[in-house]
């Protein structure tokens, strides 16, 4: 069991790296790539349509290399809800094999830009190969952590993410960084796993592991409060499908209206909340 936040982050990084290697060498078993979420606690949900490539329609999958599709184990389809426009700059947090970056780049067109941020070398290499395969040139993949986004303030129109914010050990920092890099009036269109308010952190950990995208999930009210503290209004958290008892895939939307303060969310205490193997 991970006992420090650094160890927990390293566990997530290791799972991402293993997933990228599995896709690259053709040994991916459950279609897991972006799936630090693909472990024993969630693998059974893959075939049920709760996670992965089945959340993208056939037309979207047809725009992508097979390895980008295989490298998806998100809990939603943020590109479908982000309402991207020609010429916009979009940032995907935890971009994995690049599926949402490539789709976003096609939506914003040659006058727009799509950034993908990931902390795993293997995923970044896979994403770059996938983008090159479909000849998408308005993309930039960045190495870094979503708690410390390597982009200037007020430089992005839209932030998307697919089942990754729940893996952060410091979600307050993530939400604050999102507010920092967004332009005034910029917006969030995120898919994530979110808990019902009735579930305590311990109850969430009982339902699945941290690296399985369950134990570290915010509750609905925590997500709303965190985004409001980070400078957002018009915050909505809409449950779309249940992934475990009281845990849901959700669409999270918000609009930046002021500069962020640090959201009042606790840093994860791994020994209490990780639920790790």
pLDDT tens-digit map of 1-60: 555 777 777 777 777 667 667 766 665 544 333 334 544 444 443 344 444 444 444 445
Computed over every residue of the chain, the mean pLDDT equals 79
Closest CA to 28 of 13, 16, 11: 16
Residue 17, token pair as written in the block: 């790296």
- At which residue do the structure tokens 């979009």 appear? 90
Report in angstroms the alpha-carbon separations of 256 from 82, 134, 214, 232: 14, 33, 27, 4
Q: Would the pLDDT of 174 be above 50?
A: yes
- Distance CA(37)–CA(265), nearest Å, equals 22
Closest CA to 246 of 207, 272, 212: 207
Closest CA to 64 of 72, 11, 225: 72
What confidence score (pLDDT) does residue 16 get? 65
What confidence score (pLDDT) does residue 10 get? 74
Residue 97, token pair as written in the block: 């094999």
What confidence score (pLDDT) does residue 170 get? 92
pLDDT tens-digit map of 236-274: 999 998 989 999 999 999 999 998 876 566 555 444 444
What domain count does the chain have?
Answer: 1
pLDDT tens-digit map of 77-127: 788 888 999 999 999 999 988 989 999 999 999 999 999 999 999 989 999
The domain in which residue 53 lies consists of: 5-273
3-state secondary structure at position 182 = strand
Mean pLDDT of 185-210: 92
To the question of pTM greater than 0.75 for the whole model, the response is: yes
What confidence score (pLDDT) does residue 35 get? 39
CATH number at residue 269: 3.40.50.150
Mean pLDDT of 219-235: 96
Handedness of CA 46, 52, 55, 59 (dihedral sign): negative
Residue 171, token pair as written in the block: 């979600």
* Beta carbons within 10 angstroms of residue 258's beta carbon: 11
What confidence score (pLDDT) does residue 3 get? 55
Give strand pairing partners of 248.
Answer: 194, 242
The H or E element that residue 52 is part of is none
* Beta carbons within 10 angstroms of residue 112's beta carbon: 20
């Amino acid at each position: 069991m991970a006992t420090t936040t650094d160890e927990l982050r390293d566990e997530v990084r290791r799972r991402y790296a293993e997933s990228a290697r599995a896709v690259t060498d053709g040994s991916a078993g459950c279609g897991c790539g972006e799936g630090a979420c693909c472990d024993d606690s969630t693998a059974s949900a893959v075939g049920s349509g709760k996670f992965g490539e089945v959340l993208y329609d056939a037309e979207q999958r047809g725009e992508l290399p097979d390895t980008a599709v295989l490298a998806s184990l998100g809990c939603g389809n943020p590109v479908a809800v982000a309402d991207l426009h020609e010429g916009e700059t979009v940032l995907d947090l935890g971009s994995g094999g690049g599926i949402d970056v490539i789709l976003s780049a096609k939506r914003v067109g040659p006058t727009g830009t799509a950034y993908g941020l990931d902390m795993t070398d293997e995923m970044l290499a896979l994403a770059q190969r996938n983008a090159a395969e479909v000849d998408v040139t308005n993309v930039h993949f960045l190495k870094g952590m979503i708690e410390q986004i390597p982009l200037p303030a007020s430089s992005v129109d839209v932030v998307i993410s697919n089942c990754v914010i729940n893996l952060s050990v410091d979600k307050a920092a993530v939400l604050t960084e999102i507010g920092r890099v967004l332009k005034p009036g910029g917006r969030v269109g995120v898919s994530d796993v979110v808990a019902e308010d009735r579930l305590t952190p311990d109850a969430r950990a009982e339902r699945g592991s941290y690296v399985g995208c369950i134990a570290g999930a915010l509750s609905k009210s925590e997500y709303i409060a965190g985004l409001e503290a980070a400078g957002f209004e018009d915050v909505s958290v809409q449950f779309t499908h249940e992934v475990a008892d009281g845990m849901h895939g959700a669409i999270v939307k918000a609009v930046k209206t002021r500069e962020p303060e640090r959201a009042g969310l606790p840093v994860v205490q791994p020994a209490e909340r990780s639920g790790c193997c």
